[in-house]
Amino acid sequence: MSSSKPVQLERAIIVGCGLKSDSFSELKESMAELEELAYAAGAEVVGTAIQVLPKYVPATLIGSGKVEEIKTLLEETNATLVVIDHSLAGSQSRNLEELIGARVLDRAQLILDIFAQRAQTYEGKLQVELAQMMDQLPRMVGGWLGSHSRLGGGIGTRGPGETALEMDRRRIRKKMDLIKAKLEDVRRNRAQYRQSRKRSKVPSFALIGYTNTGKSTLLNRLTQSQVLVKDQVFATLDPTTRQVFLPEVNSAVVTDTVGFIRKLPTHLIEAFKATLEESGEADVLLHVIDLSSPSMEAQMKVVDNLIHEFKWESKPIIYVFNKVDKSHIEKQMRVKKFPRVFISALTGQGLDKLKKMMSEEVKKLSQEVELYFPKDKEFKIYELGKEAQISRTENAASGTVCYAFLTEGQLSKWKEFLQ
> Is residue 229 part of the contact set for ligand GTP (CB under 6 A)?
yes
> Is residue 95 part of the contact set for Mg ion (CB under 5 A)?
no
Q: To the nearest whole angstrom, how small is the minimum distance from the Cβ of residue 224 to Mg ion?
A: 16
> Is residue 46 part of the contact set for Mg ion (CB under 5 A)?
no
Q: Of 46 and 206, which has the nearer Cβ to Mg ion?
A: 206
> Is residue 350 part of the contact set for ligand GTP (CB under 6 A)?
no
- Member of 216, 255, 275, 389 binding ligand GTP (CB under 6 A): 216
> Is residue 47 part of the contact set for ligand GTP (CB under 6 A)?
no
Q: To the nearest whole angstrom, how small is the minimum distance from the Cβ of residue 240 to ligand GTP?
A: 10
**Packing angle of the helix pair 122-136, 107-118 (nearest 10 deg):** 160
Q: What is the DSSP letter of 367?
A: E
> Is residue 341 part of the contact set for ligand GTP (CB under 6 A)?
no
Q: To the nearest whole angstrom, how small is the minimum distance from the Cβ of residue 187 to ligand GTP?
A: 22
Closest-by-Cβ residue to Mg ion is 236
- Member of 215, 267, 287, 355 binding ligand GTP (CB under 6 A): 215
> Is residue 217 part of the contact set for Mg ion (CB under 5 A)?
no
By CB under 5 A, how many residues form the interface with Mg ion?
4
Q: To the nearest whole angstrom, how small is the minimum distance from the Cβ of residue 124 to ligand GTP?
A: 13
> Is residue 217 part of the contact set for ligand GTP (CB under 6 A)?
yes
Residues facing residue 43 across a β-bridge: 10
Dihedral Cα 256, 272, 303, 235, nearest 10 deg: 50
CB-facing half-sphere around the CA of 367: CA atoms within 13 A: 8
What is the arrangement of strands in the sheet containing 389-396, beginning at the earlier edge strand?
367-374, 399-406, 389-396
- Positive or negative, the CA dihedral 92, 96, 102, 106 is negative
Contact mark string toward ligand GTP, 233..252, x via CB under 6 A: xxxx----------------
> Is residue 213 part of the contact set for ligand GTP (CB under 6 A)?
yes
Q: In whole angstroms, what is the distance from residue 255 CA to residue 243 CA?
A: 9
Q: 295-324: which residues touch ligand GTP (CB under 6 A)? A: 322-323
Environment class of residue 284 by beta-carbon count within 10 Å: exposed (0-12), middle (13-18) or buried (19+)? Answer: buried
Q: Of 227 and 335, which has the nearer Cβ to Mg ion?
A: 227
CB-facing half-sphere around the CA of 340: CA atoms within 13 A: 15
Q: What is the DSSP string of 188-246?
A: HHHHHHHHHHHHHT--EEEEEEBTTSSHHHHHHHHHT------SSTT---S-EEEEEEE
Contact mark string toward Mg ion, 220..239, x via CB under 5 A: ---------------xx---
Among ligand GTP, Mg ion, none, the one that 44 touches (CB under a kind-dependent 5 to 8 A) is none
Q: Of 95 and 216, which has the nearer Cβ to Mg ion?
A: 216
Question: What does each C-alpha distance from 234 to 257, 258, 273, 276 come to in angstroms?
Answer: 10, 7, 16, 14
Q: Of 213 and 223, which has the nearer Cβ to ligand GTP?
A: 213
Residues belonging to the chain: 419
DSSP SS3 for 337: coil
Q: In whole angstroms, what is the distance from residue 255 CA to residue 98 CA?
A: 45
Q: To the nearest whole angstrom, how small is the minimum distance from the Cβ of residue 232 to ligand GTP?
A: 6
- Member of 140, 335, 346, 351 binding ligand GTP (CB under 6 A): 346
Q: In whole angstroms, what is the distance from residue 179 CA to residue 171 CA?
A: 12
Q: What is the DSSP string of 99-127?
A: HH-SEEEEHHHHHHHHHHHH--SHHHHHH
Residues that bind Mg ion (CB under 5 A): 215-216, 235-236
Residues that bind ligand GTP (CB under 6 A): 211-217, 229-231, 233-236, 259, 322-323, 325-326, 344-346
